[in-house]
Chain A
Amino acid sequence: MTETRRPEHALVLVVEDDPILMLSLVDFVENAGCEAIEADSVAEAIRILETRPDIRTVFTDLDMRGSTAGMELALSIRDRWPPIELLMVSSQPWDASQIPERGIVLGKPFDRRRIVAAIQKFAA
């Protein structure tokens, strides 16, 4: 886990269990001018969130092992830390009703422009 404190950058928790995809997600966060904190599982993501109240945005993949793990995480974040913004990527379509409030789901393969735009919007 990398943790570099750069107060001028907004912190984005990136949750992804595939290391190759993690590289791309972190890339997008940095493109957006934010700082990425990586978590490779839902459990770790929760742990980090419990200790890092300065995280404003969570960027998670919904297609992780245990098919619904990503969405469960998103829902529990919205439940426990309502102010945190949620950006999600998924290869599956999701009904609007399934998505937590204010959350954004973008598809795969990645649309760099939209992902970056969304991170910047949440960080602003």
Chain B
Amino acid sequence: MNSHPIPNIVDDADRLSALMSYAILDTPTEWGFDDIVQLACHLCQVPVSLVSLVAGDRQWFKARVGFPHCETDLDSSICAHALAQPDAVLVIPDLTVDPRTRANPLVTGEPFIRFYAGAPLVTPDGHVLGSLCVIDKVVRPGGLTVAQAENLKALARQVVTQMELRRAVTSRDIARAEEQRAYQVREALRDSQARIAAAGGDLDAVLRAVVAGAISAVPAADGGVIALLDGDHLEYRAVLGSLAAHRGQRVPLAASGAGRCARTREPYLVRDAGSDPHVDRGLAGTLGLGSAALAPILGGDGVLGVLKLQSARTDAFTQGDLDIVGLFTSAATAGLTEASARAETCEKDDYWRGLFDRLSEGFVVGEVVRDERGRVIDWTYVEVNPAWGDLLGIDPKTVVGRSVREVIPDIEEEWIDEFAQVVETGEVANFTRRIETISRWYEGRAFRLDANRFGVIFLEVTQRVEAEDRRSALLTLGDRLRDLTTTADMTRAAAEIVGRTLGATRAGFGRIEGDVEAIEIEPDWTAPGIASIAGRHRFDDYGDLRGSLRRGEPLVIDDVATDPRTRDDPGPMRAIAVGALVNMPVRERGRTVAAFIVHDVKPRTWAGEELAFLRNVADRLEVGVARVRAEELQAVLNTELVHRLKNTLTVVQSIATQTLRSVTEREPVEAFERRVLALSRAHDVLMQKSWAAARMRSVMESVLGLQADLDRFALDGPDIDISPQAALSLTLLLHELATNALKYGALSAKAGSVRIAWRTEQGTAPTLVLDWTESGGPSVTAPNGRGGFGSKLIRMGLVGTRNADLEYGHSGLRAEFRAPLTDIQIPVH
């Protein structure tokens, strides 16, 4: 029991808080304080001195001399009474008599103290924290001298100063430690971010980097793990330190600290695994878990997992540690997101690269090269795919970084200009173009990638383009051959078409003489700078060339310098600018009679398609030439035939005239003569079309011209082709009509004329209608009786149809003749 209660000031919260702020209780002894109590002993000539700090429940001695205990309870405290008088030194000369101390256990019992003097420890804020006291075991009735008391107060102030100093140092150290800690955390965070970046999308590496970083930032941890959510469990994925052996450990969401953290998505501090309501004791034992700091790894819409740091000790982690763990979960989230993005990108990258590598189309990424004025003058290969190499015939590994002018010298300017245009305008360009130096055609599409780069995807279309060229060349040849009428023109046209299509330097056609001994080459086609070799050439002058041509096979030489038939002396070939050649034979009745020749000044490999093309050309040319020959021959025969026909008719005419010499009436004789003449004119007209047909107007003019000037006749009608029979019939009919008109009708008068008009009438049976209308002549009447042969001919009408409507009027004859058009026109097959 306490006879004299300790002052209330002892329990003052501000005072206690001030005391706590010095953080001095329970700290080791320090020279600064020890020195002060030594000095106080000497000053006051006492055996005991203490720096006593009065807490709420005890007094604790920071420094002591001659006193065995480091602290006492407040019942034993005399210093507590010193608190009540902050300005003065409390001096109790005889503790056994002072009511405040006579019951004090230290007075009544060991060590039986008798004298006490204490100077209060007053902070700059005015709080009294305790006292610097001196104690004796004998009563000192005189107490302290004034000087001793003042000096003791001075020493007490020194104690406070010392405490202030100590606190300043401590707080500086704490600040430093915190700074150090923050630095460590930042470093650890940066390290793990660097490691995450370096992990390149490897998820396990990312997670390990996060755990390692957190452990190094929180030294209290002896192990760490990232557990990823998997259904209703969390599975240990990245494990380090004391948890290293537990990879793959699964913990239920419902019954674990990590599970709580994941479910609530809040950080969670397990202070003591042994008492934590969420921790499974068995699991804690397995994992060696004393305490843990847990934070959720959040991503996108939900929780991905949990980062846990643990220690075998209980209460190893502070709230600050938990915050740090939280920082690392952000890194984990970022890492996880990046890892999946990277993995996706990487996958896409691999996908596209694989695609381009497997593509049969060539693919190029190019970058334009500009001159100092910014004009595009070249471009370099940035990337090409394997197909590019196949299509160009260039090793793709050798071109990246080089310019197209370097890789393909003499490349056409279009290959640079067009891609420059694509980069400048951003417009896609489609092309089908040849690279002359490698003689290949490409078709593709170029598109802009950025301000300097473009992509090109393309195919080689040489075969297609050349096949098209050959096809269109054959069509052109067909047209030309059909239109041309002489063999010289035809062979020349064929030579030019072949030469241009095959890109050869000379092409021509020649007639072969004898048993393939010589060839008479007709005027040939040559490329610029190549001389013609038209004229006669002996095969043996150029090598052993006759064999294949004699057998009717093409003579094909890819290189005169290496071919066994010419290599012994390629000089004569070289002299006429031949490096490679084809002679395609033309056969007639088992003999080679002609050859189509193609030369190239350079060696070249003649492709099968090219030889087939030549074969085709030679065949067509031969057919064309044969047609022209046949037509020429036909024309000669026709002329000869008409010549003989006319001579025969002339002889018949003469015989008849002489036979009828005695007939006194000359008119019928002359009529006969003239009918023969008219018939012969019809043959003249028919001959122009080889007796296959005749032009209606020509037939008319021919026969009417026999009778009178053509200007007396007005012809009006379509100039149709009519059959030979119709031509002869029309001739005889018009002959008789004109004869009569001349004798009795319109043509007998000076001003009389005849209009002959014809038309076709469509209907069930298309009909030709021919009108003969005389005008300006005397009035005419129908002949008496049946009339003569002439009248009969007229009544027979056209092609014997007897469809003749005759009207004898006052100004001459009007007649209309009708005949089925099918009988007039040539049959159309």
Contacts and interface: CB of A to CB of B under 8 A. Distances in A.
Given A108-B649, A109-B676, A23 B639 contact: no
Interface string A1-36: 000000000000000001011011001000000000
Interface string B622-655: 0000000000000000010011101101111111
B680 to A, nearest CB: 5
Contact of A20 (B644, B651, B706): B651
A24 B657 contact: yes
Contact of B654 (A23, A107, A111): A23
A30 to B, nearest CB: 12
B655 A20 contact: yes
A24 B658 contact: yes
A110 B706 CA distance: 11
A112 B658 CA distance: 14
A111 B706 contact: yes
Contacts of A92: 639, 643
Q: Which of B654, B673, B677 has the most C-beta atoms of chain A within 10 angstroms of its own C-beta?
A: B654
Contacts of B658: 20, 23-24, 27
Nearest to B651: A20
Interface string B243-282: 0000000000000000000000000000000000000000
B653 A109 contact: yes
A18 B706 CA distance: 25
Contacts of A112: 670, 673-674
Interface string B670-686: 10011011001000000
27 contacts: A18-B651, A20-B658, A21-B650, A21-B651, A24-B654, A24-B657, A24-B658, A27-B657, A27-B658, A91-B642, A91-B646, A92-B643, A107-B646, A107-B680, A108-B646, A108-B650, A108-B680, A109-B646, A109-B673, A109-B680, A110-B654, A110-B673, A110-B677, A111-B674, A112-B670, A112-B673, A112-B674
A38 to B, nearest CB: 15
A40 interface: no
Given A63-B643, A91-B643, 13 more contacts: A20-B654, A20-B655, A24-B653, A27-B657, A91-B650, A108-B646, A108-B680, A109-B677, A110-B650, A110-B653, A111-B674, A111-B706, A112-B674
Contacts of A23: 654, 657-658
A113 to B, nearest CB: 8
A77 to B, nearest CB: 23
Interface string A65-96: 00000000000000000000000000110000
B420 to A, nearest CB: 65
Nearest to A92: B643
A63 B639 CA distance: 13
A21 B647 CA distance: 10
Interface residues of B, number: 22
B650 A109 contact: yes
Contacts of A27: 657-658
B639, B646, B706: most-surrounded residue (chain A CB, <10 A) = B646
A121 B302 CA distance: 128
A20 B654 CA distance: 7
A72 B559 CA distance: 58
Nearest to A28: B657
A20 B657 CA distance: 10
B662 to A, nearest CB: 13
Nearest to B658: A23
Contacts of A18: 651
A27 to B, nearest CB: 7
B647 A91 contact: yes
Contacts of B646: 91, 107-109
Contacts of B670: 112
A21 B673 CA distance: 13
Nearest to A21: B654
Contacts of B654: 20-21, 23-24, 110
A63 B640 CA distance: 12
B122 to A, nearest CB: 154
Nearest to A91: B646
B686 to A, nearest CB: 14
A98 B649 CA distance: 25
A23 B649 CA distance: 15
Interface in A91-124: 91-92, 107-112
A18 B651 CA distance: 9
Nearest to B654: A24
Contacts of A20: 651, 654-655, 658
A24 B647 CA distance: 13
Given A20-B655, A24-B653, A24-B658, A63 B647 contact: yes
B698 to A, nearest CB: 14
A107 B653 CA distance: 13
A24 B651 CA distance: 9
Q: Which 8 A-B pairs have the closest CB atoms?
A: A91-B646, A24-B654, A108-B650, A109-B653, A109-B650, A109-B649, A108-B646, A91-B643
A19 B647 CA distance: 13
Contacts of A110: 650, 653-654, 673, 677
Contacts of B680: 107-109
Contacts of A107: 646, 680
A73 B670 CA distance: 30
Interface in B196-238: none
B462 to A, nearest CB: 55
Nearest to B652: A109
Interface string A48-68: 000000000000000100000
B647 A108 contact: yes
B203 to A, nearest CB: 102
B472 to A, nearest CB: 41
A77 B670 CA distance: 32
Contacts of A91: 642-644, 646-647, 650
Most buried by A among B652, B676, B677, B706: B677
Contacts of B674: 111-112
Nearest to A67: B643
Nearest to A89: B650
